[in-house]
Amino acid sequence: MVFLIILIASFLLQLVLPWWVIVVISFATCGLVGKTSKVSFWHPFFAIVVLWTAMALFKSLPNHNVLVSRVAVMFGLDIWWLILAITGLLGGLVAAISGFCGYHFRKAVLIRKSHA
């Protein structure tokens, strides 16, 4: 569920908003419906890894990976798919941390409320 919401929302919103909207989406989604801290970490992670990898390949494959190969050389790497991996993992990690933080934010707020 969390996975799908983040995947779809991130896809749609990134068509019009900057990349960091995934931070907001992951935070909000996990803050609202994240069941455990594990789910709140891994679901956003995989959602973004899948989404970004798919989108990158969608652009890069019809390009015969010419551009990504040049970018790889620029970063001092010789293999183009390392750039793909870095893109996916870094994006995923940011989403995961955001989701995790969102979940714990809700927890913290709930605890404060229950204390009050």
Tell which one of 3, 33, 71, 81 touches another protein (CB under 8 A): 71
Q: Is 102 left (phi over 0), alpha (psi -120 to 50) or beta?
A: alpha
Residue at token pair 């990976």: 65
Instruction: Determine which residue in the list 8, 70, 82, 110 makes contact with another protein, applying CB under 8 A.
Output: 70
6 in Cβ contact with 95 (< 8 Å): yes
Is 68 among the residues that bind another protein (CB under 8 A)? Answer: yes
Q: Quick check: 3 binds another protein (CB under 8 A)?
A: no
Q: Does 41 bind another protein (CB under 8 A)?
A: no
b/e for 77-100, b at 16 or more Cβ within 10 A? eeebbebbeebbbebbebbbbbbb
Tokens at 69, concatenated: 């190969």
Residue 23 contacts another protein per CB under 8 A: yes
For the bound state, the minimum distance from the C-beta of residue 47 to another protein, rounded and expressed in Å, comes to 14
The residues that touch another protein, with contacts defined as CB under 8 A, are: 14-15, 18-20, 23, 26-27, 52, 55-56, 58-60, 62-68, 70-74, 76, 83, 86-87, 90-91, 94, 97-98, 101-102, 104-105, 108
